[in-house]
Amino acid sequence: MIAGRISIRTHIITDKDDIVNVVEKYTGKVALPGDIVAIAESVVAISQGRAILPDDVKPGILAKILCHFPGKEGSLAAPPSIQVAMEEVGKARFLLGVAAAGLGRLVGRRGDFYRVAGRELALIDDFAGTMWPFDRHIVLGPRNTQEIVDRIKKVTGVEAIITDINDIGKVDILAATDGVDADEVADYLKDNPHGNDDQQTPIVVLVSSENMQKNKCCRAAWLGEQSK
């Protein structure tokens, strides 16, 4: 059972950081075994060097045409990000996705593009999708997410998840260690505690009821100390 949560501000994560070290540094004295550390997918991707500047992408003719299609889903709006997406899953699969989306629309169904072209494309953030100084980058989804959460648990003893949360309350858990109840956690993250781009809190600790009880005891002790 989760009984509370606390958002943790970090430095600006770049590709010089190892995300496991970052989590260890910022949660080492905040999270206890039984708690869950939630990490925003975009910073995991950035730490993996998956932020791309548009100058490094040469959009082909197809990307330039596709950007004019109405209802381009999610954050794929500009030709460079469409190009990057096509390279991620291959041109053929991307086009199948576009075709499926077109057919889906005829029968009034949404979401077929990502079902066919690949869920990982939904994780691509276009320009302005990530906070400064990465707001001029296209940020791809993270890789090896299961391996990362498992390493975090090994190093810190705390459960870990990697999350993709948008502003309309849609929560996706990309990877979780074996002790996590994904449904309960998703419910607890709907209002996006990672914050918008003004708040640099890519790590959130979800505190278990047991540890919250301990915290309450300490709170009394801390307050007692103060009234002395």
Partner 1 sequence: MYLQNKPRITNLWSKVVGGENEKWLTRVTVESTGPYKFTLKEVSGGFSLECSGVEINMPEGRLEVNDGLLRDISIERAGNDTARVELFLDHPAECAYVLYNDFPCRLVLNLNRDFIKGLLSGKRIVVDPGHGGKNLGGRGQVSLLEKDVVIPIANNLERNLKKAGAEVLLTRRTDKDVPLDGRAALATNANADAFISIHTNASADRSDVGAATLYSPHDNGSRELAVYIQKEIIKKLRVKDRGITIQQGLGCVSKEIPAVEVEVVTITNIVEEVFLRGLTIQERAAEGITNGLIKYFACGGPGAKGDTK
- Helix ranges (H only) for the chain are 19-27, 41-47, 61-66, 79-89, 91-106, 112-117, 145-156, 182-188, 209-227
Select the span of 39-47, 101-109, 122-130, 169-177 touching partner 1 (CB under 8 A): 122-130
Q: Which amino acid is at 44?
A: V
CB 225 to partner 1: min, Å:
7
- Site for partner 1, residues 152 to 211, rule: CB under 8 A: 195-199, 201, 207, 211
Nearest Cα neighbor of 37 from 171, 172, 137, 150 is: 150
* Per-residue CA distances from 196 to 6, 111, 138 (Å): 15, 25, 17
Q: Which helix (H) or strand (E) holds 206?
A: strand 203-208
Closest to partner 1 by CB, 54 or 97 = 54
Q: Which amino acid is at 148?
A: I
Q: Among residues 126, 145, 162, 202, which is the contact residue for partner 1, using CB under 8 A?
A: 126
- Site for partner 1, residues 44 to 103, rule: CB under 8 A: 54, 67-68, 77-80
CB 62 to partner 1: min, Å:
15
CB 108 to partner 1: min, Å:
24
* Per-residue CA distances from 184 to 26, 33, 175, 179 (Å): 24, 18, 14, 12
CB 107 to partner 1: min, Å:
27
Would you count residue 141 as binding partner 1 (CB under 8 A)? no
Closest to partner 1 by CB, 110 or 136 = 136
SS3 for 170?
A: coil
Nearest Cα neighbor of 74 from 63, 65, 82, 84 is: 82
Place of tokens 């989590």: 23
Give the number of residues in contact with partner 1, rule: CB under 8 A.
Answer: 44
**From residue 209 to residue 228, what is the string marking binding to partner 1 with x (rule CB under 8 A)?**
--xx-xx-xxx-xxx-xx--
CB 168 to partner 1: min, Å:
13
Q: Which amino acid is at 153?
A: K
User: Which residues contribute to the site for partner 1 (CB under 8 A)?
Assistant: 4, 6-11, 26, 29-30, 32, 54, 67-68, 77-80, 126-128, 132-133, 135-136, 195-199, 201, 207, 211-212, 214-215, 217-219, 221-223, 225-226
